[in-house]
Amino acid sequence: MKLFPRSLFAFAAAALVAGVTMAQQTPPHPAPVPRPVVPEAPVPPPPDVEGKSWVLMDYNTGQIIASKDPDVQLEPASITKIMTDYVVSAELGNGKIHNADPVTISENAWRGGGASTDGSTSFLKLNSQVPLKDLLYGMIIQSGNDAAIALAEHTAGSEPAFANLMNAYAKQLGMTHSQFQNASGYPVANHYTTARDIAILSRALIHDFPEDYAISAVKEFEWNGIKQHNRNLLLWRDNTVDGIKTGHTAAAGYCLAASAKQGDARMIAIIMGANSEKGRADAALALLNYGFRFYESHKLYEANKPLATPKLWKGAENTIPLGVAEDALVSVKRGDYDKLKANLDIPATLIAPFKKGQQVGTLRVTLDGQPVLTTPLVALNDAPEGGFFSRLWDTIMLWFHSDSDKK
């Protein structure tokens, strides 16, 4: 075995001690590098797009984010077929008609919307029978006027009767500025709607009948040996766009109802009276992009979860849970979420009984003092009256309670 010289050993030992000492020392933290303060990103005004009237709506909340003359009554052209689609889908849902129903193509449908007309057609043959589901495809994708008329006649017995049904559903949906005279959108007197009403209708179609709405994303459809493409150019330009319907006549100009979905967010853009097919597509896409870029929707409160449990007088229970019947959603500019303020308006004295779902108070949400959401605050459970003695006791206590309030 070799032995290290004493001097070398001493040097190694000294180095080892120094290393340990160095390892145990904590180096000083480097001085923080100052970072520039990033200013809050402003939200610009909406783009100035083409069209006599237009609307941008957040689907989740139904809020109108931006608009231009949203309540001006205009001819809708084939945008009308969104209403026709909604009515047919509703009647299908009610079991009054069925997708497999054979629908006879009447002379009225053939002459009023067939190949001999100047309008859009599915080239349906006179007196032929076509499955109802195929007519829906032809109306939504090809914008077939003959398909729309045939669907109307099969659903309601005649097109005028169907128009009455359209107006009844429109009223039910809250479309307060619309009047429909036919199923196709053929220009006639007193047939009109608004950009806001079409946005309301489009939101209802997507929500109530998602399977039928999905047809509007189909890019082409073939019937009677003729293949036709969907006229919604945005289906080819942006893969987040999945509907909804185009329209055009000389009087109405170029119209487009478009919707796109990105993650959990969905936007709806309605363009009425643009100057060209490209113009309506450019306008709708600009609005959709603006909505996704600068706005966001938030679920503030979940449905059927207690937001408050105030004192209940003369009840079987001493408190009553209150909440919202539907998720409380708001749409705000990006960066404004933390500025929202919520307030529960609840009567000072609640006396049983209450039924589940009965409105007891109001939830109000504001942003910078301006109302953003107002929705009913409801009882989440039945709250029946208590027994005789508990009600008698609460009657006595209420007398003291009300007397102390006066003081």
| Three-state secondary structure string covering 170-201 | HHHHCCCCCECCCCCCCCCCCCEECHHHHHHH
- Residue pair 54/272 in contact (Cβ under 8 Å)? The answer is yes
Residue 177's identity, in one-letter code, is: H
Of the residues 53, 78, 122, 331, only one is catalytic, namely: 78
Of the residues 81, 178, 184, 245, only one is catalytic, namely: 81
Grouping H, G, I as helix, E, B as strand and the rest as coil, residue 375 is strand
Active site residue 116: no
Burial group, residue 314, by CB count within 10 angstroms (0-12, 13-18, 19+): buried
| Residue/partner pairs of 224-231 with CB below 8 Å, 24 or more apart | 224/122, 224/123, 224/124, 224/125, 226/123, 228/122, 228/141, 228/142, 230/141, 230/142, 231/143, 231/277
Separation CA 257–CA 277 (nearest Å) = 12
- Residue pair 300/318 in contact (Cβ under 8 Å)? The answer is no
Active site residue 331: no
Only one residue has tokens 């829906």, namely 136
Of the residues 89, 120, 143, 216, only one is catalytic, namely: 143
Active site residue 78: yes
Q: How would DSSP label each residue in 91-151? A: HHHTTSS-TT-EEE--HHHHHHHSTTSSS----PPTT-EEEHHHHHHHHHHS--HHHHHHH
Give the pair of three-digit tokens for residue 91: 């009647």
Number of CB atoms found within 10 A of residue 366's CB: 15
Catalytic positions are 78, 81, 143
